[in-house]
Chain A
Amino acid sequence: MTRKRETHTPQRFRASSGGRIDRSEPQSFTFDGRHLTGYAGDTLASALLANGVHMVARSFKYHRPRGILTAGSEEPNALVSIRRDWRRVTPNVRATEVELYEGLIAESQNRWPSLALDVGSVNDRLAPLFPAGFYYKTFMGPQALGGNRAWTHLFEPAIRRMAGLGRAPIDADPDHYASRYAHCDVLVVGAGPAGLMAALVAAEVGASVIIADEQAEFGGSLLAEAEATIDGQPAWDWLSAIILRLQGNDRVRLLPRTTVFGCYPDHLFGLAERITDHMADPDRGLPRERLWQVRAREVVLATGSIERPLVFRDNDRPGIMLAGAAATYRERYGVLAGTRAVIATACDSAYGLAARLARDGVRVERIVDFRARVAPAATETARADDLAVTVGASIKATAGRHRVAAVGLKHLDGRGERIECDLVLMAGGFTPTLHLFSQLRGKLAWDEARQTFRPAAPRDHVHLAGGCDRQSGLSGAIAGGVAAGEAAARANGRDSMTGRRAVVVASADAATTADAMTAAPAASLKGRAFVDFQNDVTTKDLQLAAREGFRAIEHIKRYTTTGMATDQGKTSNVNALGVVSAALRQGVGALGHTTFRAPFTPVTFGTLAGEARGSLFDPVRRTPVDASARSAGAVFEDVGQWQRARYFTRGGENMAVAVFRECRAVRERVGVFDASTLGKIEVVGPDAATFLDRMYVNDISGLAVGRCRYAVMLSEAGFVMDDGIVARLASDRFHVTTTTGGAARVLAHMEDYLQTEFTDLECWLTSVTEQWGVVAVQGPRAREVLAPLVDGVDLSGAALPHMGFAAGRILGVPMRLFRVSFTGELGFEINVPSGHACVLWDALLARAEAIGGGAYGTEAMHVLRAEKGFIIVGQDSDGTVTPADLGLPTGARKREFVGKRSLARPDMVLSDRPQLVGLESSKASVVLEEGAQITDTATPRPGTRALGHVTSAYLSPSLGRPIALALIKNGRGRIGETLYVPMPGGTLRVSVVAPGFYDPEGARLDG
């Protein structure tokens, strides 16, 4: 579809001069397909207003036309989607924050088929059907009506589609994101006059400083103060000079476009920096955004304040905006938000603004002061400029479909009056931005006189300056900034005065923030007065919640959703409190406030993920045998971060066929297995044996040099946490293996005990997991495969019996050789320095294959050990089983070890504890499902508790039938019994047997 180019004068509402935009650089953009132009330095919002576009969105719930309320990150209405290309669509961004660039494509949201003709706006007529607590009230339908099926399948999805924001992108984000750590003496949040001064003073006193501001340009409120003077210079000249000084100081890092979104323990701050979103054609090598994690000793909060709207009927029409926003659009962007303005105020700040607008050629139709009494000074200046002021009146209604066209006043004496206008400005007073102070655990108190929250007490290492500290006016902000910067620097011990001291006297107070009052809308109001614009919460919703018995503001928030939108109620929270306070006849101070949580403004998932995506999401660890295993046909599986060879496929075999072949090879000839991922810890020192005695259930000090022992480690609660082999290399030196997944945990567990409990013991722990590559050779012909490669070790059963250890050389490199078996066959595990593992593997595999053996993977390893009834910790145990449950030794009575005392607890010795047993299935073809429940009747009644569950189940190639291990209550007492396993295909009958299925007497260990 082609659209006609704009025919009316482009940028009709752009003043002929003024603003910080670059008029030499026009930029074209589209909004909902309409071609418009703005200038470099515009935001999307200012460019739209310059073109007279006020209606930019439909509201969340009622689909009401909405305009641009603010000029900053607090914007609740003007949420749009920015489309860079088909994969780069960002929904729900605030038009007031989007920097204009050539070719920008913006689209409105939550409307169909178009912004002007929105079908969903029917919701506005149906508003009585959507009261506060709508979800809670409607989604608890009676069972008789089919439960909530219709709601969950029909109505709720429809409602969710209707009520909403932009669409989340479906495709993977094509951009990349960066992360960055930084440390500084002083972090300054906000680069308005207070923040800039704080940064400058702190840096010149000697502190290292990071100053961050969410806006593209530093200056904060100064950017809307074209006419102010500071130190006798124009404010903007002063601003440039300060920024130059900061840039020239190598102790200062300036971060524009960076939002300090969260405060975390120990003064860690989360900052989101936007890097490419403002560029027309960004270098794709640049990350789109960057997460800064800043550790700051001191923080200066110079976050300013947020103006409050006034609450009156239909206060949400496009063309109704905050007075301060209109000033910003005029001063910073050279945009007049309208031609005929009504200024509704409860604050003196509006009077100066009115005079300025009038000078710019806006007809100020009326200043409507909601307050009954106004200081004469304020009204006098307005009257001096010939501006009409009505004190003590209120706005009863507004008119206009897609833009405000008139307001209806109600005078103090009850008389009504209609005033035509195209702009209504609201000045409801200022709320200090204390989100971060609150996140830093600062307590807030209600200041009744000034009708704002303020810090109840100072926080250590936190300094406030400017508007957020209720310092009014420029000189107040600058003085506050100087004080905060100096205090923050001195708290760091930086008082060397290395730099020139900043001396600043602000001579102008452009904006005065006099006392404001909170809105007091009548409960009897007809129509709707919006409090939370983003979530469409009205005074009636809040009053209803109060009538329905809600008292706590946190509950009212959740019931009505006020303050729960992505803007977190920046413009609405205090007004909501005012309404609730009136409804409950309770002071705002007594009501308290809701909690401020990170992030201050939404942060993209990309920024939080940073580089951790795709191949860098998590380390992928490959064993030292990996390259050789790959060429031997390995198919890998994830085991934690490790890639382990699951099976080795030959000529297109599937897993079942390969595993069957691999198991047969080990049982009949020989198999070669990569065991490198086993955790390995070397324990050295005169007390090494004593230490291991205390860490394992099994006796270690009785182990002879050159011998190994299977050992089980318990948690302090007495449950099995790991197992492995302990080999005694020398009287004071042990090589301990752990499970693959337990390697780091076991070392940490041991170090914990060694450093905190067993400080009397002299021994040291060193992880050698990655020093050694491990190849296991298992099978009746293992010895003949290994022997020719080995130097200096007698492999005979007499010299190296089962559970023997020897050191020697293999293929010319040092090795640690363990005669151990996890298959039940004659077996060796050969450890060589990792760099030699591939060569060792290749040599062993060639010899094995020459006699009809081959490589086997983790799947065959699992089957082979299950045939023997050997457990895998974490599969056959689950953190709630004891050694006795598993049929393992429970330790000598005299020796103490970690977890021993817990084994004597009454519930640890109950006879019906789960015990490890084997199961034999009645059906020779069906492998039980791991995790399947076991019952004592074939068709248990619903609610019957299972006796236990299947932990391991395989088809056994050696036995030619399915086998399973299970944990069953009093399992050993049930050997011989018949039990039942309900399976998807019908209940199976199983008989309980001892857990060793193959060679239970262990005759094959010697080959």
Chain B
Amino acid sequence: MAEATSPPEGISALAGLSLPSASGVAHLVEATIAARLVLRAPVEVAARMLAASGLENPTGINRAIRTAAGSSLQLGPDEWLVLAASGPAGELAAAMAAAAGAASHALLDVSERSVAMTLEGPRVEDVLAAGCPLPLEIQAFAVGRATRTLWAKAEIVLWRQEPRRFHIEVARSFAPYLVGSLAQAIANEAAFVAQQRA
């Protein structure tokens, strides 16, 4: 296609925000996602579509799986969020749609709907427990679990990538709030850690 030249780079919703970090607690960094797709389809159709583009179908709802092509997070019985390792979204979507054949589904490019961050550190569970009402102990929310949930007053998608690393997706207009309130939680946790050491 003539349009295969990648479009101009858009402005990140995190531009201008300083991301919090506290040694011994947790740090927040922007995660670049080349393309995001929302896939809505019956599970067997979705599995076929994911496979066609080098992705895998997670083992169930609220689980995520990563391959070289990208990650797929199953957020509902017929809902997947695809985070592609490389763009553009159009090519990925075309491959997936072709695999669906005549089966009905919804496939949308939502690359710029949200921003992604990685929160990582030894006290990451404690930091998240300040604003997320879900139980996030490793026994309750193992590596590979992903879910739509709340952080304080913002809706987020939370995915545990490693025992001490979480991927967070948030709608772009909520990003400054999320960053500000995570910064507060990290600062509080750092103060608790310092107090315990003292």
Contacts and interface: CB of A to CB of B under 8 A. Distances in A.
A812 B192 contact: no
A835 interface: yes
A759 interface: no
A628 to B, nearest CB: 10
B40 A768 contact: no
Contacts of A139: none
Interface string A807-823: 00101111000000000
B180 A179 contact: no
Contacts of A685: 104-106
A834 B172 contact: yes
Contacts of B191: 283, 285-287
Given A619-B153, A623-B173, A811-B8, A766 B181 contact: no
Contact-size category for B: 35 or more
Given A814-B7, A839-B8, A287 B188 contact: yes
A838 B16 CA distance: 15
A285 B187 contact: yes
Contact of B10 (A286, A618, A834): A834
A771 B110 contact: yes
B173 A764 contact: no
Contacts of A624: 11, 13, 172
Contact of A764 (B40, B111, B129, B194): B40
A207 B184 CA distance: 32
Interface in A171-192: 176, 178-183
Interface string A518-559: 000000000000000000000000000000000000000000
B30 interface: no
A293 B134 CA distance: 11
Contact of B180 (A615, A764, A839): A615
Nearest to A767: B113
A770 B114 contact: yes
Contacts of B194: 283, 285
A766 B106 contact: yes
A982 B172 CA distance: 47
Contact of B177 (A283, A287, A616, A771): A616
B177 A619 contact: yes
Contact of B172 (A616, A762, A770, A838): A770
A178 B188 contact: yes
Interface in B77-124: 78, 104-114
Contacts of B114: 770
A686 interface: yes
B8 to A, nearest CB: 6
Interface string A5-26: 0000000000000000000000
B193 to A, nearest CB: 10
Contact-size category for A: 35 or more
Contacts of A642: 173
Nearest to B38: A766
A286 B105 CA distance: 51
Nearest to B172: A770
A271 to B, nearest CB: 13
A87 interface: no
Contacts of A149: none
Chain A interface, >50% SS class: mixed
Contacts of B171: 769-770
B168 interface: no
Interface in A564-612: 611-612
A763 interface: yes
A801 to B, nearest CB: 27
A834 B9 CA distance: 11
Nearest to B104: A686
Given A620-B176, A622-B173, A813 B131 contact: no
B184 A616 contact: yes
B153 A684 contact: no
Interface in A762-794: 762-764, 766-771
Contacts of A627: 11
A285 B114 CA distance: 31
A682 interface: yes
A815 B154 CA distance: 28
B111 A833 contact: yes
A833 B108 CA distance: 12
Interface string B10-49: 1111000000000000000000000000101000000000
Given A286-B195, A622-B176, A768-B113, A181 B78 contact: no
A835 B10 contact: yes
Nearest to A839: B8
B135 A834 contact: no
B142 interface: no
Interface string A298-327: 000000000000000000000000000000
Most buried by A among B10, B40, B140: B10
A616 B20 CA distance: 15
B69 interface: no
Contacts of B73: none
Given A287-B188, A684-B106, A768-B108, A179 B8 contact: no
A767 B172 CA distance: 13
Interface string A41-52: 000000000000
A770 B109 CA distance: 12
A834 B113 contact: yes
Nearest to B15: A627
B173 A770 contact: yes
Contacts of B113: 767-771, 834
B190 interface: yes
B130 interface: yes
B181 A611 contact: yes
Given A179-B131, A766-B110, A771-B113, A285 B152 contact: no
18 contacts: A176-B188, A181-B130, A181-B132, A183-B140, A285-B187, A619-B176, A620-B176, A620-B177, A624-B13, A685-B105, A685-B106, A770-B173, A771-B108, A812-B7, A833-B10, A835-B11, A836-B7, A839-B11
Given A622-B176, A833-B112, 5 more contacts: A732-B104, A809-B3, A813-B10, A833-B111, A839-B8
In the complex, the 10 A-B pairs of residues with the closest C-beta atoms, listed nearest first: A835-B10, A684-B106, A764-B40, A621-B173, A285-B191, A619-B177, A764-B106, A183-B135, A771-B113, A833-B112
